[in-house]
Amino acid sequence: MPLVASLLCLVVAISDGDTLTARCGAPGAYQQVKVRIAAIDAPESRQAFGQKSRQHLAQLCFRQRATLQPVDEDSYGRMVAQVRCGGTDVATAQVRAGMAWVYTPYASGYPHLAPLQRSAQAQHAGLWSQKRPLAPWDYRHRHRH
């Protein structure tokens, strides 16, 4: 896979706990990019902790400079990227706080995330404070129209 240079961007919107919109490029030649954070899956907005997860990501990134390292494109045409806001790895921060699941099918390159998730579970942090947290992929499956 060819290495794409990191993009320096400004985060202009937060959709949910794992998706944001960033403005990248030179002034006057901005490109607005919708970015899905690699290796994590956050609760959907209508799910328990959906809004808290979004707010947590907003605290980390909204109106912050972000470094995007593109890794893929998803089925919706969004860039999938490793994202750092103000020096913080966003996937790590979301998982550590119990605001997102490690998305195992795409997390093989991120072995540090699983122990953070186990730690968040053990501490009942964030979404792990629920008796039976429902994974977002199961939630989406149940709520397809």
Each residue's pLDDT tens digit in the chain (145 positions)? 445 679 999 999 999 999 999 999 887 888 999 999 999 999 999 999 999 999 999 999 999 999 999 999 999 999 999 999 999 999 999 999 999 999 988 899 999 999 999 999 999 999 999 999 999 999 999 987 5
User: Could you give the domains of the chain?
Assistant: 7-140 (2.40.50.90)
pLDDT at position 3: 52
Q: Active-site residue 96, yes or no?
A: no
Q: What is the C-alpha separation between 22 and 76, in angstroms, rounded?
A: 16
Q: What is the C-alpha separation between 138 and 24, in angstroms, rounded?
A: 33
The catalytic residue among 23, 44, 65, 96 is 44
Q: What is the C-alpha separation between 64 and 58, in angstroms, rounded?
A: 9
Give the residue carrying structure tokens 């968040």: 120
Q: Active-site residue 46, yes or no?
A: no
The catalytic residue among 46, 73, 78, 142 is 78
The catalytic residue among 36, 54, 84, 96 is 36
Q: Active-site residue 73, yes or no?
A: no
Residue 127, amino acid: L
Query: Which DSSP string corresponds to 52-75?
Result: HHHHHHHHHHTTSEEEEEEEEE-T
**Which pTM value belongs to this model?**
0.93
Q: Is 85 helix (H, G, I), strand (E, B) or coil?
A: strand
Q: Is 88 helix (H, G, I), strand (E, B) or coil?
A: strand
